[in-house]
Structure 1
Amino acid sequence: MSTAGVLLAAGAGTRFAGPQHKLLAVMDGHSVVSRALESLLGASLDAVAVVTGAVDVSEVLAATGGDIAVIDNDRWESGIASSVRCAASWAARQGHDAIVVGLADQPFVTAASWQAVADCAAPIAVGTYGARRRNPVRLAREVWPLLPYGGDDGGRTVMRRFPEIVVPVACEGSPNDIDTVEDLRRWS
C-alpha cells in the first residue's frame, strides 16, 4: 500500500497581518511552512507533495533538498476542499492508495504523528490531541470520490456523513496553527 503525505499551503492567510504571508513568517530561525514540511518529510512516507496557490513557497521547497511534488491549485480561493481534491487527483495519477493531509500553518505536528496517522488502515484516520480531532488526516482511495469540490470543509464533510469509517489516532505534538501575528508571537 502506497501512502503519500500532502501539505496544504494554498490559502491566502488573510487573518495574518504581518509583513509577509504567514507561511513565510519566521519562528526560531525557520519559516512556518519549512517547520511543517520538515515534520512531514521526517515521517518517511512513500511520496511528499505540497499544494500551493496564493503564495510562492518554491524557495522553501527547494531548500529542503527533498523530492517534493508541487501541486498547483488554481482554484485555491474556493476553499480548502479544492486543495484536498487536487491532492487526491494527484495521488490517483501517481498510483497511491492513500493520502495523509496536513496544514502548512501547523508547525508543531510531529513526524511521529504523521507516521501514526499514515499507519492506520481505516478509510479515514484522524489525528487527535486529547479529545480534539485535528490534522493530519489519512484519506484512503475509496473515500476520494466522496470529497467535496469547494468550501472549507475538506474531509470533515465525509467524516460527518460516515462516522463509522473514521478512526481516531492519538498524536503527540500540538495541532496549534499560526493564523495571526499574535499566534506567531505566542508560539515562538
Structure 2
Amino acid sequence: MIAGLLLAAGEGARLGTPKALVEFGGERLVDRGVRLLAEGGCRPVVVVLGAATVQVRGAVSVRNPDWRTGMGSSLRAGLAALPPEATAVVVALVDQPLVRAGAVRALAASGAGLAVATYGGRRANPVLIAREHFAGVAELAVGDVGARAFMKAHPGLVTEVACDEHGDPADIDTPQDLELLEGRWKRVLDLLEGR
C-alpha cells in the first residue's frame, strides 16, 4: 500500500497567508493536493498542517507543532503518522498546483524504493520513499530540507522518473507566482475546452 503525504504546514510569509488556505482555480491548495495524491492512487492521504488549522476532507490531518523550523520537521511528522501497512509514501508539496496525478502514478509504477519526479531533466516533486528508507530520510530532514539530503547522500538508490507530461512543478511563493500560475492554468483549461 502506497500512502500519500502532503506537506502543508508553512505560513507563506512572502505570500501573506498560509499556503494551505490559498484558493487556486476555485479550490484551496490543500484540497487540491489531497486530490492529487488520492487520484494518483495513494491510500491513505496524510496532510501535515502547522500555521493554519483547517478541516481537510478525504485525508488524515496531523499537526506539526515545530512547523516554524521548516519542511524537515513536517516531513518527519508525516512519516511518523503513516500507518504500519504503508510500504511506501509519495510526498507532495501544497504549493505546486500544476502537478497532476499522473506524476504520482508514474512514481508508484517505477517499482523503485526511492524515486523522484523530473521535469525537463531537473529533479522536483513529488518523491516516492519506501518504508525501508523512512528512518534515514527522517534523520537527514532538518530545517527546510526534506528528502533531498537523503537522496544526495545515497545517489545510487535514486530512480529518476520523467514526469514532463504530468504537469509543471512551479511553486507559489509570492502573490506574483500565484497570478502567473493561475494564468497558465486558465490557458490550459481554455485549450482543453477549445476556446
Match of 1:146 among 130, 133, 136: 136
TM-score for both structures, normalised by structure 1: 0.88
1:77-96 correspondence runs (5 A): 77-91=68-82, 93-96=83-86
Tell me how many residue pairs correspond in the alignment: 178
Matched, 1:103 2:100: no
Q: Distance in 2 between matches of 1:183 and 1:112?
A: 23
The higher relative CO (CA closer than 8 Å, separation ≥ 6) is in 1
Q: Name the SS for the 2:150 alignment partner.
A: helix
1:128-167 correspondence runs (5 A): 128-147=118-137, 148-167=140-159
Structure 1 residue aligned with 2:4:
5
Structure 2 spans left out of the alignment, 5+ residues: 183-195
Amino acid across the alignment from 1:16:
L
1:38-53 correspondence runs (5 A): 38-53=35-50
Identity of aligned residues (%): 40
Match of 1:26 among 23, 26, 37: 23
Superposed CA RMSD in Å reads 1.4
In structure 2, do the counterparts of structure 1 residues 22 and 121 end up closer, same or farther at CA, with 3 Å as the change threshold?
same
Structure 1 spans left out of the alignment, 5+ residues: none
Structure 2 residue aligned with 1:35:
32
Deviations 1:44-83 (A, max 9, x none): 222111111111231xx13xxx2x1111111111111111
User: Is residue 7–residue 47 contact of structure 2 (8 Å, CA) maintained in 1?
Assistant: yes
